[in-house]
Structure 1
Amino acid sequence: MTIKDTPQEWEVRATDTPFVGNKTSVRTDDVVMPDGHVVRRDYQVHPGSVAVLALDEEDRVLLIKQYRHPVRQKLWEIPAGLLDVPGENPLHAAQRELYEEAHVKAEDWRVLTDVYTTPGGCDEAIRIFLARDLSEAEGERFAVEDEETDLEYARVPLDELVRGVLAGELHNNCLVVGVLSLASARASGRLDELRPADAPWPARPFEA
C-alpha cells in the first residue's frame, strides 16, 4: 500500500461566499457525503503562501520575531509571505520575501516540504524552501509598515531550534515544520534528495 495523498472532489450542491476580506474570504459549501446526505462546510479561502528556512554557513537559521494578533503573541518565525498574484512562481515569491523581510539573498534553493496548514477549515497551502549560500542583498532595505516595524532578528543553530520545538517553546507552523523537516532529512541521509526549487506544486499550480 502506497501512503500518498490523492486528489478527490466530492459533489457540491450549493456554494456561497458570506465574507470577502482583503486577502482571504470565507466560503460555505453544501457537500454530498458518501452516504448521500448533504452537510454544510465553512472554510477560509486562501491564496497560498511560501516560507524560507534560510541556513547560513555556521548552520544557523535566520529567524524573525513578529507580533501575531490572533494569538496575542510575538512568535519566532522564518521569512514567509502570501502568494499575492494568481499563478505566481513560488520560488520568485520566496526570494522576494527573504529580501523584503531579512535583506538577504541565497544562491542555493530547494523545496523542503509542502503542507496544508489547516485542511479542516482552510485551503491554505504553504511551500517551505531551504535556502543556502546566503549573503546580504544589494540595494536599500525594503520599507516596512504595521507589525513589521517591530521585527526582531536572530540567527539560531538548528539543533537549538529542534530543542525549542520539542520543548513547546516555539509554535509558528512554518518554523516547526521547516526545522523538523530539515533535521529529519539530515538524520535519514535524504538531504540530497530534496526536490528542486521549481518542482511541481499541484496545490498551487504556477508559471515557470
Structure 2
Amino acid sequence: MAQHPAIKDTPEEWQVTATATPFTGNKTGVRTDTVVMPDGTAVTRDYQTHPGSVAVLALDEQDRVLVLNQYRHPVRQRLWEIPAGLLDVPGENPLHAAQRELYEEAHVKAEDWRVLTDVYTSPGGCDEAVRIFLARGVSEVEGERFEVFEEELDMQVERVPLAGLVRGVLAGELHNTCLVVGVLSLQAALHGDGLEALRPADAPWPARPYSG
C-alpha cells in the first residue's frame, strides 16, 4: 500500500516589505501588507486583523447542545450559534475566556472541558483564529444573570439535540461557522476515536499563544 505524507498545516511567512493600517476599530482593524511572492514580484494583501475568539459547544446529559439565536447585522439574519466571544486581553488563557462566555451568554457552567477543534474562520481575508471547546457536565449558575446589551438583549437560548443540528447544517439551514464546525467535529469524534481522545483543555494553541 502506498504511503501518503501526513496532511498537516505548517507555519511559513513570506517577506513583507511594507505594512500599513488604514483602519483601526474598537476590536478589529484592517492591515495592508506588501508581500514578496515566490517569483520575486511584490503584491499587496488587505486583511482584517482580529484578536482571536473562543467558542463553546456545551453538551448536556441528554446529548443536547446549548445554542443561542441572535441578530447578525452584516449578513442581515438571525443565526443560531454556540456561545462565543473575543479574547479581550492579549495572551489571555482561552479556557478562562470560554468559561466566561458560557456564563455570560447562557448562565451555565461545565465540569469537563476539552479542545474540540481549532479553526481559522476566513484565512484569505482575516487572521482570526478560533478555539472551539467541548464542555460537558453542564449546570445552571447560581445568582443573578449577567447583564446583556445591544444584540444580546433579545437573544434566545435553547437546548437542541445534536442530531437535529447536524441535519440542519447539512440541509443548509444553519450557517454560523463555530456552530457548523463544532457540531460536525463532535459528530466525527463520537463516531471516531471518542470524546476521551480529544485534546485537553489546556492544549497548546500556536495561533494564539497564552500562559497560565
* TM-score bracket for the superposition, by shorter chain length: over 0.9
Which of 99, 121, 124 in structure 2 is aligned with 1:120? 124
**Structure 1 position 197 matched with structure 2 position 201:** yes
- Which letter does structure 2 place at the counterpart of 1:123? D
Q: Which runs of 5+ in 1 are unaligned?
A: none
Alignment partner of 1:50 is 2:54? yes
Aligned equivalent of 1:149, options 124, 149, 153: 153
Moved more, 137-146 or 9-18: 137-146
Give the Cα separation in 1 of the matches to 2:24 and 2:193. Answer: 45
Partner SS, residue 18 of structure 1: strand
Aligned counterpart, 1:134: 138
Query: Which residue pairs with 1:20 in the alignment?
Result: 24
Q: Deviations over 1:167-192 (max 9, x none)?
A: 00000000000000000011113322
Where does residue 170 of structure 1 map in the other structure?
174
CA distance in 1, matches of 2:28, 2:143: 32
2:34 and 2:90 map into 1 onto residues whose CA distance is: 26
Looking at structure 1, the residues matched to 171 and 33 of structure 2 have their Cα atoms a distance apart, in angstroms, of 39
Query: C-alpha distance in 2, partners of 1:87/1:174?
Result: 21
Counterpart of 1:10 in structure 2 is 14
2:70 aligns with: 66
Alignment length (residue pairs) = 208
Which residue matches 1:38?
42
Q: Return the alpha-carbon distance in structure 1 between the equivalents of residues 151 and 139 of structure 2.
A: 25
Give 1:14's aligned amino acid.
Answer: A
One-letter amino acid of the counterpart of residue 110, structure 2: A
RMSD of the alignment, in Å?
Answer: 0.5
CA distance in 1, matches of 2:192, 2:171: 22
Supply the distance in 2 between the matched residues of 1:134 and 1:157 (Cα, whole angstroms). 15
Give the 3-state SS of the residue equivalent to 1:6 in structure 2. coil
Which aligned runs of 4 or more in structure 1 are off by greater than 4 angstroms? none
Cα shift readout 1:135-180 (whole Å, capped 9, x = no counterpart): 0012210000000001011100000100000000000000000000
Sequence identity percentage? 78
Match of 1:87 in 2: 91
Structure 2 unaligned spans of 5+: none
- Name the TM-score, length of structure 1 as normaliser: 0.99
Q: How big is the shift at 1:29?
A: 0.1
Give TM-score scaled by structure 2 length: 0.97
